[in-house]
Structure 1
Amino acid sequence: MCGRFTLTAEEETILSYLNLDHKPMTWKPRYNIAPTQSVLSCIKHQDAMRIGTLQWGLIPHWAKDSKIGSKLINARSETVMQKPSFKNSFARKRCIIIADGFFEWKQNEDGKQPLYITLKDQPLFAMAGLYDTWQDEHEKKIHTCTILTTKANTFMEHIHQRMPVILKRNHIDSWLMPKQSIPTLQSLMQPYHAHEMRAIPVTKKMGNAAFDSPECIQPI
């Protein structure tokens, strides 16, 4: 699964990674992004990339209660086309969530140790996601998202059995294309290359979602 991640890069680095011109955006470095919080995301609208924030935890447009969002922070890539909560978004509303690392907990003899996982040669990466828009009884719209997961690669399987779907940079446009074929989408939802990943043990204090500090990603 993916339950915590980071985005500490500066605005210029993010826009360069996405091949976007300078656009107004409000984002400060985040060292411990947790469910129900805002995440930086991109969608494709009328053939143009649009960047903005979404609330992490998908609330399907048909949901009666927004509380369902806290339970839908991840979607399994193997079943995403069948699940009522995700299938409509998978068909029409795919997004990417920008990150530069994510956390996972490894079970050791003395308990669970948080690990900070990054890519060796990429300062940023895009996680495959889905989004939807929900409207409450006061007609207030909430734009939300979920992160797709896949089976662990040979690097991650020693840490956790699942991992986020990380897209190669040249696959982002294919994922966001509104009328993409199912076989192409399935080919993109694969485990990232194991040899391109690394992990370091970090402080257990990051287990507190309110603890958002550079200390979260410092090796111990």
Structure 2
Amino acid sequence: MDQSRISILLVDDHEVVRAGFKILLSAQPFIGEIRDVNRGELVAQEYARMQPDVVVMDLSMPGIGGLETIRRLCKQAPDAVVLVYSIHDEFVYVERALQAGARGYVSKNSAAEMLAEAVRTVAQGKRYIEQQLMPEVSDVRHSDIESYREVVDLLSPREFDVFCRLASGMTTHEAASDLCLGYKTVANYNTKIKSKLRVNTAAELANIAVVLGIVKP
């Protein structure tokens, strides 16, 4: 492995996306070896084998999902450098990813050059958060920030995944299919989530998600 260049492990369940990432990043002179896996369950093993400088991680994947993958990887390898590259551009996802152990966050709506710059920045031991994802202090009340932080802290990574899907209007069956989980498993999560958030209905879940910025009103 060329130690003068940055090695990368790509984690995304879409083959076309991974191929596009490889083309984009390989064009950068400071990028070295790039390997990829298509789900979170494969990350720990591939990371141990490759020891990459940076892990570029999607969040929305079947199975354990990106947030739980980050948490497990950072527990296994505290020095792991994870950069999230996700379609989710709400700040609550940024905060959740950082809490799990990520060093940076870039949305897939950003310019292609930004991903490369983010990779280089986090590889240098710095944090990189796309500026567009940071909330304007003048637009966000302190009480609102504290409220969504409290809610985020109440949910486990998997509960958060289920919460986001149910709050966006998915049925329990649809959420189970999307997460590759059994119906009863998601139903149990649904019960635990409502208990933690002290709500009884899907409408109340949706309202909380709107406050957090996860679901657009």
Give the TM-score normalised by the residue count of structure 1. Answer: 0.29
Q: Which has the larger radius of gyration?
A: 2
Between the two structures, name the one with larger relative contact order (CA 8 Å, sep ≥ 6).
1
More strand by percentage: 1
More helix by percentage: 2
